[in-house]
Amino acid sequence: MSSGFDLGPEERLAILLSRHVHDWETSACGALSFIPATAMLLARELHAPNVEIIILGSKEYSPFVSGKDFHFLAQRGEMDLFFISAIEIDKHGNFNLHVIGDRDEPDVLMPGQYGTGLLYYAVPRIVMFRTEHTTRTFVEQVDYISGAGTSPEGVRRRTREVTVVTPIAQLRFNMETRLMELASVHEGFTADQVAENTGFDLGIDGPVETTPVITEAEVQALRTIVKPHMIESETYPDLAARLIREP
């Protein structure tokens, strides 16, 4: 999905994620989250000038004394959007950040999470993202549920919207059926290609929307405003310098 622009994969995802940031809301990402951090800063430049941005661990965009305060904010209902990247995502909206394989004898043991499962319950809008779209990531059932898409009866959660953004498509979690569905396909790809690279049925039963194309205004703002700001504010400066291209 380049629309004639020479975009790196991180640039493309940052632009797509930025569209989910709303004005006058509090949007947040955890530490080690270059792509959503870039997305939030880009959204502020383009369409959400009054957004409150939280980038955990950054100097300029982390107002907390400790990491606990970050989660307390969400529990009080004061966080509107949170970005999550997972190793596995399944058709039930569950995600995995812990292990690949058996939990007791894992093939791969990952760092896990710091409160992300809690945030999945406490934040109204969740945007998950992946830098790849393959059957390795999108599976019928995750090997380990780090965050559950559906709560047990009687357990309250604030989640009302879950979107997944990848390099080829956007998925949407249907809150009534509790299943992942194909929301839109990026320019240059087809619904069949998305289905082939997804390990579960996406419920495609008719025409699928095309994701709005990336615009020159989005690319220019990313490269001429957001990139220098990230370097100057020491918000992932090395990654910004390396992964966001010159105008």
User: Which of these, 85, 86, 79, lies nearest to 28 by C-alpha position?
Assistant: 79
- What the block records as the tokens of 83 is 């970005």
116 within 8 A of 84, measured Cβ to Cβ: yes
Radius of gyration of the CA atoms of the chain, in A: 18
Distance CA 139, CA 22 (A): 30
Distance CA 221, CA 91 (A): 35
Distance CA 52, CA 24 (A): 7
Structural domains of the chain in order of their starting residue, each with its CATH number: 9-243 (3.40.1080.10)
**What's the predicted TM-score (pTM) here?**
0.93
pLDDT value of position 2 = 44
Q: How far apart are the first and last CA of the chain?
A: 18
DSSP bridge pairs for 5: none
pLDDT value of position 3 = 58
What is the full per-residue pLDDT of the chain (247 aa) written as tens digits?
A: 445 789 999 999 999 999 999 999 999 998 889 999 999 999 999 999 999 999 988 999 998 867 788 889 999 999 999 999 999 999 999 999 878 777 667 666 666 666 788 899 999 999 999 999 999 999 999 998 999 998 888 888 899 999 999 999 999 999 999 999 999 999 999 999 999 999 999 989 889 999 999 999 999 999 999 999 999 999 999 999 999 999 9
pLDDT value of position 239 = 97
User: Which of these, 95, 118, 112, lies nearest to 171 by C-alpha position?
Assistant: 95
